[in-house]
Amino acid sequence: MTKPLVFITRQIATDATARLQEVADVEVWPQEDPPPLSVLLDKISHVDGIITMLTDPINSEVIKAASPKLKVISQMAVGFDNIDVARATERKIPVGHTPGVLTETTADFAWALILAAARRVVEADRQVRKGIWKPWGPDVLTGFDVYGAILGIIGFGRIGQAVARRAKGFNMRIIYHSRQRKPDAEQEFGASYVSLEDIFRFSDILSLHLNYTPAAYHLVNRERLSLMKPSAILVNTSRGAVVDSEALVWALQNKVIAAAALDVFDPEPIPPNHPLLFMENVVLTPHIASASRETRRRMAFMAVDNVVAALAGKPIPYCVNPEVYQ
């Protein structure tokens, strides 16, 4: 009996691929760069399942081209704004993702960015590598104290709370803003709920952890950046489109805020001539907040679990659109 066919848009953990090969014939895109749209259109037209990444545009055109036998789109990521979920739901195609697995890893990385930006670690590293070693002086590479500072968190879900948990060790005052208040978390972390305007106004360090929705587009804009302290630091490990990058460039150039640390951009990758690339007071990383070996392996297995369940005719365990089963 012929096995079902599954296409994976990038190399994933070999043992996760091996598990999938027990129940399916598996084809893996061999390159580091994402497969072009023409390849996605071709593959989805005849496979039974597909494992995708955030950089794959699974838009209405791709879903329209899907084979009638396609049983699942399984994304190896928590987010899924690259997938036209509504169109997939119309086609009764379950969409899977990998929730929860990124929490601690992303919180660790957010803290790496906070400390790097506050203490000018990347700037100092560049100077050492270039042979620029200024004599010790009162103002040489002075940064900002994190201990005892006010940490603002926008988006107080699992990752935001994990960041807050780490902040307790730095004796920080925690303020947050989210769509809903979290009384239990407020008690656990001593956190205070504040308005959106006040979190910009009072934060020494403002860390973004909200899910992306159309309402979140350019939430961080020129008007809100203008409310921030001139010593404030903005950190974004959520989604690039949450921040108006032109407004951020303006705020940094005009010393409206002191620094920023960004793991996500809009678009990605960041254009090679973007002004942010030439600023010393910005830490930039290429969307790697979840990039630990352990986490990526767990993500791979969760994505495979979705496919294995779908191929067996069962509901997928990590489903974005469970209404397809109604």
Query: Which residues are identified as catalytic?
Result: 239, 268, 287
Q: Pull the structure tokens for residue 206.
A: 């403002």
Contact 290, 296 (CB under 8 A): yes
**Cβ-Cβ contacts under 8 Å for 2 (sequence gap 6 or more):** none
Distances (CA, A) of 12 to 30, 302, 305, 310: 10, 12, 13, 19
Distance CA 320, CA 326 (A): 14
The neighbouring-strand residues paired with 151 are 174, 205
Check if the beta carbon of residue 5 is closer than 8 Å to that of residue 46. Answer: yes
DSSP annotation of 27 reads E
- Name the burial class of residue 185, with classes exposed (0-12), middle (13-18) and buried (19+) by CB atoms within 10 angstroms of its CB: buried
